[in-house]
Amino acid sequence: MALPLSMDEEVRLYTTNAQREKVESVATLFGIIIALDYLERAYVRDSITAAQYTPACTRLLAQYKTMLKLVPEEVPSLEAFMRRYNMDAPAAAHRLSLGIPATVEHASSDSSSDSPQRVAETTQNFITFMDALRLEMRAKDQLHPLLTELMDGYSKFKGSAGWEGRSKIVGWLITLNGMKASETLSDDQVRQLLFDIERAYNEFFRSLSGKSGDP
């Protein structure tokens, strides 16, 4: 006959060092998501500046990715993890799905952003990314850093918020960010991605030159 459970008895979450490390890692991951949600809300409410927000957000995103590698079996997906622990953190969920700070996603433009140097750097980022696809790079850990760098420069140009290519790039960032590092895009996905990036590239130059129509 089972002994009655005492409400005063401490419940142990682990019995081995390996179990303890896993519990602590999950708790850290939980804390990172909550911290990111508070950070996002603070930024939206202008409680902190962009200069304060950006490095803090970048650090939390990096910490999240690191913790995922420690307990991959505990996080089949961000949505599943949040459901399991009854988390209500929509702002953090959006930021983690994208994988870049809001200051990059919605970068403001200034006159210096359209300088010849910036145009050259962004052009090179477009070419580098398209070349990576043509060289059959398919894995998330190969493509996501390149696309993040492209988005970082691209989004700083005047008028980029209204460019069609911006939503396409953001969409692919979300797709890649939702994959595991070793996962790869299918041939159909790569074909569509290359098509979307080439259109964004052409639109980028049309917009800067003030021309309309396909080049």
Burial of residue 145 (number of CB atoms within 10 Å: 0-12, 13-18, 19+)? exposed
CATH no. of 17-105: 1.20.1440.200
- The Cα–Cα gap between 36 and 92 comes to 5
The first and second tokens of residue 157, run together, are: 């140009």
DSSP reduced 3-state for 139 = strand
* CA 48 to chain CA centroid, nearest Å: 21
Spatial neighbors of 138 by CB under 8 A, at least 6 apart, are 184, 185, 190
Domain 111-208 has CATH 1.20.120.1130: yes
Chain segment 54-97, per-residue pLDDT in tens: 888 888 888 888 788 777 777 788 888 899 999 999 999 999 98
The residues of the chain that CATH labels 1.20.1440.200 are 17-105
pTM, entire model = 0.62
- The Cα–Cα gap between 83 and 93 comes to 12
The residues of the chain that CATH labels 1.20.120.1130 are 111-208
The first and second tokens of residue 170, run together, are: 């953001």
> Residue 115 — φ and ψ, nearest 5°?
-65, 155
The predicted structure's pLDDT at residue 209 = 65
Mean pLDDT for the chain overall? 83
The segments of the chain whose pLDDT lies below 70 read 1-18, 107-115, 209-215
